[in-house]
Every structure is written in structure tokens, then in C-alpha cells.
Amino acid sequence: MNQKIQKIHHASMKILGDVGIKIHHGEILDLLNDQGIQISNQIARFSEDQIREWLSHTPHQFKLHARNPIHHLTFGGDNYVYAAGYGCPDIIKANGDRRNAQLSDFTKFIKLVQNSNFINLAGGIVVQPSDIPSEISSLAMLYSTMLHSDKCLMGIPGEKKEVQQLMNLTALLMGGMDELKANPAIITLISTLSPLQLDKNALDSILVCAQHNQAMIVSPGPIAGATAPISLAGAIALGNAEAIATIVIAQIITPGVPVIYGLQATALDMQTGYSNVATPAFSLGAKYCAELARFYNLPSRGGGANTDAKNVSTQSGYESMLALLNARQQSINLIVHSAGILDSYLAMSFEQFIVDQEMISMVEYLFKDIEVNDESLSLDIIKEVGHGGQFLNHPDTFKKCRTEPWFPEISIRGSLGEAKQEQKFFEKIEAKLHNEYTRYQKPDIDPEINQQLIEYLQKCGVPSALLTLLNSDGMM
């Protein structure tokens, strides 16, 4: 494996030195030029020595701060974090019907994230609401996340003004801009434009996040056969070059700014023309993402419960489990798209969110492993029961039967009675969803801070009626 990683690394260095990466941002080009990066016709070419120097500033591990300290997160090392689906325009219902996502859907997902024992990171673009103007959607989504969750925040990329507004809003929540810069509290996903480009929005986002010392996930998504060579090795080398160049740019802006290395190499289905995110090749790509992140001694992002399925189905189950299990096996630090995603990142499903959480529970039980000690080996109980006995009515069984070994919440076991498998399965999912919404408790937020958030949002053009609706919890 190490020889393969070395070869990929050297190929990426050749790409960055000989071909370079196109930078659609005059201010960034000037910054790179000032640091001796070769610039010609908007193309930046990096030497391996320059790359090595700037990568040395990137922290190998960092903390993200939540407004509730119990939800602080550490990225890197042996730590791992789950985040829900991201970037989806649509909602797919249990019966397979499809509709545009709305802000109420976004808020419902944030409530599910807040309740979750597994999903650690809240916000971002879980779904893109179609019922509010695009110029205020980022602010509305971030504010809804702040109101309905006290977990760590995921930001939203965009134009310089938009990202700056999100930074200002986060600073109000976290005690001021100086406090925010000293204690990063929001992490933003940065995508490159394959092949070998960074567009203005991505670079604006990098510039603002780095200037405020806020964390970033750098995550190219080369599509083998379309925006990258059809060879998976070539696609990974190209994506790695994009990731490294982007991380170097972030470090040039603010040395030491926290960055996560990501690489989401997908492939074009030559039969349909669609990009697939749930193939064994995708999971292989995640494996190399994890290895390359370790090679550069950086936290990693990859995997998720990815599926190309169009609804909750057998396909959505086996594809999601393959990607999710692989991400944990590869020790990925940040697993985005870990719950709710369907149709190759194009839709979210409340029902799939519940299914994926059950799968995460199974995977976590598997990786937790078993305790092996005098008590768990139960030698005295085995001796007591003896040959041909049974353990069903033993006091130790009564004591532990509600906590061991692992129990599903929606999987079907035992007799079906008159019901059919699929019918009963979806009934259990709906009951679980109802229970989640019923038990949800909105986290406290300081009234004075909330008023400051509201006043700032009003100055940014967010309608008072929308802010009142979000505060009234009328988004169910």
C-alpha cells in the first residue's frame, strides 16, 4: 500500500508542478505570487518543496467548539465524527414520490440530528430549501441550526459576502469575533472544480474561513471517465492534486488554519451517463483517501451511507452499509452523508435517515468489540449451569437481557402475524420518526444572544416573519 501511495503522491506532485491548477480569483493569485508560487494565465504551479513547506503548518488534529461544551468535537487521530446528508435539492417519501425540499424539512432533519446518539455535526446544506429566496437561504439554514441544535456547526460555502455573514452570525453566538478566531466553531465544505480548477465561490469561502481561522473540509469530487481519467488511480491522483493545492492555499492565507483532507472519487456509469456514488470503486477511493490523509498526517473526510437507490429499498440498504462499514474500517475521521442520503446525493429521506442510524448502531457495536475479563467470561455461571443446563432463567441473564447483546429498533424479528414484512418495517420506521419528534427538546439559547442574532439577520434582509416562524417552532 505504501508504494502505491508514494506513486500517487509523486503523480500528484507532477500534476501540480507541470500542469498546475487554475485559480479563478485575482486576490488569491496575488497572494500566491507573493509567496513565490509560479503564476501564468491564472494557472498556479507548485513545487514539491513549496507544498511540503506549507503542508507543515496544517494541524494534524484540532478541536471544533459547540455552544454546548458536551458536544465539542476533535478531528484527527483516532477520533471520528458522523454528519448527515448534504447538498440535496429533493425529498423522497416512503412511497418513492419526490418533491422539492423546504425549510421545514431542513429544520426537521436538524431536530433528528440533535436527538441522535451518533450524528455529531449539525447544519450545512442538509437539504436546499426551495421555498425561500436563495440570497437568504444560507443565513436561514444556519440560524435554524443554531436554534434547534447545540451541537457543532457545519457552514455553507458561497460568495465572499455570504460567507462573511455566516462568520458574523457565528461570532454573535459564540461570544464575539476574537473568541471565534481563538476557538473555531464552524466547519465549511470546500469543493474543487475538476479537472484542476478552483472557482470563485470556493476561493471566496476559503479566504473568509481562513481569515477567521475557521475549519474547512477540502473535498474534490473527480468523476472517473468524465472530469477525471477513467482509471481510478488517475482519478485519485488528480483529486489528490486538487486537494493538496487547496490546502496549501488555505495555509498561505492563514498558517495553521484547521483543514480536513477529503477525496470523493466517483465514476461515470457509461451505460446511463449518471455519476455513481455507491460502487465498490467508490469505497476503494475512500480507502485511498484515508491512506493519503495519513500519508500527509491530516484528518480525513470520506465515505458515508452512500447509495444510488431512488427510494428506501434493498439496494439502499446494501449499498449504504458497504460505504458506511468501509469508512469505519478505514478510520475516516469525518463521515459525511452518513444518514438520510438517496439517489446519488440528489435527495434526502426521513425514512432512510432512520434506517441509516440503525446501520450506524450496528457498525458501532461491531467496532466497540467485546469486553474480555473475569466477569464477562462468566466461568462461575458456566460451572453453575453445568452440562446440558440452560441459561435463560439464570439471574445473570435477567440482569443483562435488556442491554446485551445488541437490539434493533426497526429491524423485523420474530413472527409477522398478519402483516407483511415491508408493511411492518415501514410502520416501525414511522413510529420511530414520530417518537423522535415527540421527544425532541429545543436546546436553550440565551435570549439576549438570540435577539442579537435576530437583529443581525434582519439587517441582512431575512424577513421578520420567517424569523418569528423559526422561533415559534412552527416548522414541524
The span from the CA of 241 to the CA of 248, in Å, is 11
pLDDT by residue for the chain (476 residues), tens only, comes to 689 999 999 999 999 999 999 999 999 999 999 999 999 999 999 999 999 999 999 999 999 999 999 999 999 999 999 999 999 999 999 999 999 999 999 999 999 999 999 999 999 999 999 999 999 999 999 999 999 999 999 999 999 999 999 999 999 999 999 999 999 999 999 999 999 999 999 999 999 999 999 999 999 999 989 999 999 999 999 999 999 999 999 999 999 999 999 999 888 888 888 888 888 888 999 999 999 999 999 999 998 999 999 999 999 999 999 999 999 999 999 999 999 999 999 999 999 999 999 999 999 999 998 999 999 999 999 999 999 999 999 999 888 888 888 888 889 888 777 678 888 999 999 999 999 999 999 999 999 999 999 999 999 999 999 999 999 876 65
Distances (CA, A) of 466 to 124, 144, 289, 365, 457: 19, 10, 41, 42, 10
Domains and CATH numbers, the chain: 2-55 (no CATH), 62-368 (3.20.20.480)
Q: 152 near 217, Cβ under 8 Å? A: no
Burial of 161 (0-12, 13-18, 19+ CB in 10 A): exposed
The span from the CA of 463 to the CA of 204, in Å, is 26
Which cell numbers hold the place of 294?
A: 495519513
Q: Which one, of 63, 138, 74, lies nearest residue 103 by Cα? A: 138
How do 43-45 and 73-75 pair as beta strands? unpaired
Burial of 425 (0-12, 13-18, 19+ CB in 10 A): middle
Q: 422 near 411, Cβ under 8 Å? A: no
